[in-house]
Amino acid sequence: MASLKDMRNRISSVKATQKITKAMQMVAAAKLRRSQDAAQNARPYAERMAAVIANLAAGVSGDSAPRLLAGTGRNQRHLIVIAAADRGLAGGFTSSIVRVARDRIAALVAEGKDVKIVTVGKKALPPLRRLYGDRIVQSYDLSAERTLTLSVAQPIADRIIELYDAGDVDVVTLYFSRFKSVVSQTPTALQLIPAKVEGGAAVPDLQGATYEYEPSEEGILETLLPRNITVQVLSALLENMAGFYASQMTAMDNATRNAGDMIKGLTVQYNRTRQAQITKELIEIISGAEAL
pLDDT in tens, the chain (292 residues): 678 888 888 899 999 999 999 999 899 898 888 888 888 888 888 888 777 777 777 666 666 677 777 778 888 899 999 999 888 888 888 889 999 999 999 999 999 999 999 999 888 888 888 888 889 988 988 887 778 888 888 999 999 999 988 888 999 999 999 888 888 888 899 888 888 766 544 555 556 655 566 666 677 787 888 888 898 899 899 998 999 999 889 899 999 999 999 999 989 988 888 888 888 888 878 877 777 6
Give the pLDDT of residue 205: 54
Give the pLDDT of residue 282: 81
Give the pLDDT of residue 72: 80
Nearest in space to 138 (alpha carbons), one of 158, 152, 114: 158
Give the pLDDT of residue 219: 75
Cβ neighbour number for residue 183 with a 10 Å cutoff: 8
Are the CB atoms for 68 and 194 separated by under 8 Å?
A: yes
Give the pLDDT of residue 20: 93
Whether the upstream peptide bond of residue 194 has omega within 30° of 0, thus cis, is yes
- The side-by-side arrangement of strands in the sheet containing 77-83 is 136-140, 114-120, 77-83, 171-181, 184-193
Give the pLDDT of residue 207: 61
Q: How far apart are CA 256 and CA 250, in angstroms?
A: 10
Quote the crossing angle between the two packed helices 217-291 and 150-165, to the nearest 10°. 120
User: In CATH, which of 3.30.465.10, 3.40.50.970, 3.40.1380.10, 3.40.50.2300 is domain 39-202+211-248?
Assistant: 3.40.1380.10
Sign (positive or negative) of CA dihedral 192, 195, 196, 199: positive
Cβ neighbour number for residue 21 with a 10 Å cutoff: 20
Give the pLDDT of residue 287: 79
> Pairing relation of β-strands 184-193 and 136-140?
unpaired
Nearest in space to 195 (alpha carbons), one of 166, 214, 173, 178: 173
Model confidence pTM above 0.85: no
